[in-house]
Amino acid sequence: MTFKAIFLDRDGTLSGEDSVKIGERDRVIAKLLGRDTFAQTYEEKMGIFWRVSKFPGLWPIKTLEQEKLFWIRWFQILLEDNGIRDGTVDLAAELREKYTYYKMMAPFPETERVLKSLKRRGYPMGVISDTFPSLEVSIKEMGLARYFESFTASSLVGAGKPDPRIFNAALASLGVMAKDSIFVDDTKEEADGARQQGFTSFLIDRKLKQPDFSNWAIGTLDHLLDFLDK
């Protein structure tokens, strides 16, 4: 089958957390708090996230400026929860500038090599992500934007995966149909949702050493090239 476009998720598919950058951020925060170390659980991070989302004008996030203010407020609450009372807005603005979430990401080792190969083969590509308006900015930050023609963020569409609306918005952005498109995501519900919409859709599970094409599962983006070469 000849495909006309390829769409990829960002987090867990194109990129993961950069432990070096996260370590640097946490050391800076620890120093501000007068501690030797600092770390947060996922639950703690999301707890602050939902508290900030209740502030007037900060949710839903539809602009880069709103997003900036959201993360400044997020860092401010983090500092205040840990005992800092003075100058928290300025400190939070500095932390957001240096350590906003997408600056803590790094592409997986094979990501750029595979994207380069797909681009060379002539596939238009798009990113579909449940994320903020800075999706394109985040892809630029990782040096990958030149491989993509479209960036579909749930915050701007008003719906996240596996809602058909976000997939339809991505398809419209490249002028293609689901039956002519591939999608890759690291979340089963979202990969399955795309397949139900007509995509040839793969779950990427990085624990897999070999692809399982019969069950629509791959272990690395390299396996996507293997599928296209079949």
Q: Which two tokens stand for residue 4?
A: 């006309």
Rounded CA gap, 131 and 141, in Å? 15
Q: What is the full DSSP assignment across 71-95?
A: HHHHHHHHHHHTT--SSHHHHHHHH
Q: Would you state the pLDDT for residue 127?
A: 98
Q: Cβ distance 113 to 147 under 8 Å?
A: no
> In this model, does residue 146 exceed pLDDT 80?
yes
Rounded CA gap, 46 and 50, in Å? 6
> In this model, does residue 1 exceed pLDDT 80?
no
Name the maximum alpha-carbon separation found in the chain. Answer: 62
Neighbours of 166 (CB within 10 A): 24
pLDDT tens, position by position, 95-139: 999 999 999 999 999 999 999 999 999 999 999 999 999 999 999
Q: Cβ distance 137 to 156 under 8 Å?
A: no
**Helix (H, G, I), strand (E, B), or coil: what is residue 109?**
coil
pLDDT tens, position by position, 195-230: 999 999 999 999 999 999 999 999 999 999 999 998
DSSP 216: T
User: Residue 204: which of 76, 108, 133 has the closest Cα?
Assistant: 108
pLDDT tens, position by position, 34-85: 999 999 999 999 999 999 999 998 999 999 999 999 999 999 999 999 999 9
